[in-house]
Amino acid sequence: MKTQLDLREKARPLKYSFNPPRKSEQARADRYSLIRRVGALLQSESEGNSLVEMALALPVFLAVVTGIFAFGIAFNNELTLSNAVGSGAQYLQQIRSTTTDPCADTLSAIEAAAPGLQGSNISLTFNFNGTAASGNSCAGDEADLVQGAPVTVTATYPCTLSIYGTRFTTACQVAAKVTEYEY
């Protein structure tokens, strides 16, 4: 049983024997076959292109992702420090009449409120009723804690931004400042 496709294949040589193709049609067919050949050559060697593209794009992508994580950690440290300084200033307001070293007590309250931060790296500056004090100990300054006067607690903490071995430590420092009023 002959199919229609078999009959067409047998009829094709007969068609060209009676009516040969024109030269322009033959040139177009050769041109298309040349383009197809060149395209086939180019496509056969594109197997490693995706690997090269990935090798070029992956380090840039990983640097961006690592930078996002590094800045996220620094931002988390800033939020933690802000909350801890707020709770330390509130604690200072509560103990103003019973403390002998307000700076040390405030630092211990800040360290307790921020366990993820190293207490030795936290730098504190105080302003008691217009009197400035800094450091981790200010014994004798409890007389400046006057009822109705503001107390300002400022803390700084260094952050380490490291992206693939490049450290940006000189300019990176997070700070928090809270003012409480003594009632």
Residue 167 carries which side chain, given as an amino acid letter?
R
**Structural domain contains residue 130:** yes
Please give the tally of structural domains in the chain.
Answer: 1
**Structural domain contains residue 6:** no
pTM for this prediction: 0.65
Question: What three-state secondary structure class fits 136?
Answer: coil
**Structural domain contains residue 7:** no
**Structural domain contains residue 107:** yes
Gap between the Cα atoms of 160 and 170, Å rounded: 9
**Structural domain contains residue 46:** no
- Taking only the tens of pLDDT, the chain with its 183 residues reads 555 556 556 555 555 555 555 555 555 555 566 667 666 666 655 667 777 888 889 999 988 898 888 889 889 999 999 999 999 988 888 887 888 888 888 899 999 999 989 888 899 988 887 778 877 778 777 777 777 788 889 999 988 777 777 776 566 888 999 988 866
pLDDT of residue 41: 63
Query: DSSP for 65-94?
Result: HHHHHHHHHHHHHHHHHHHHHHHHHHHHHH
Helices (H), the chain: 4-18, 23-44, 49-94, 102-113
**Structural domain contains residue 70:** yes
Nearest to 128, CA basis, from 99, 108, 156: 99
pLDDT of residue 18: 54
pLDDT of residue 3: 59
| Interval 126-172: pLDDT, tens | 888 777 887 777 877 777 777 778 888 999 998 877 777 777 656 68
Gap between the Cα atoms of 106 and 153, Å rounded: 9
Structural domain boundaries, residue 97? 53-181
**Structural domain contains residue 5:** no
pLDDT of residue 16: 52
- CA Rg value for the chain: 39
Residue 150 carries which side chain, given as an amino acid letter?
P
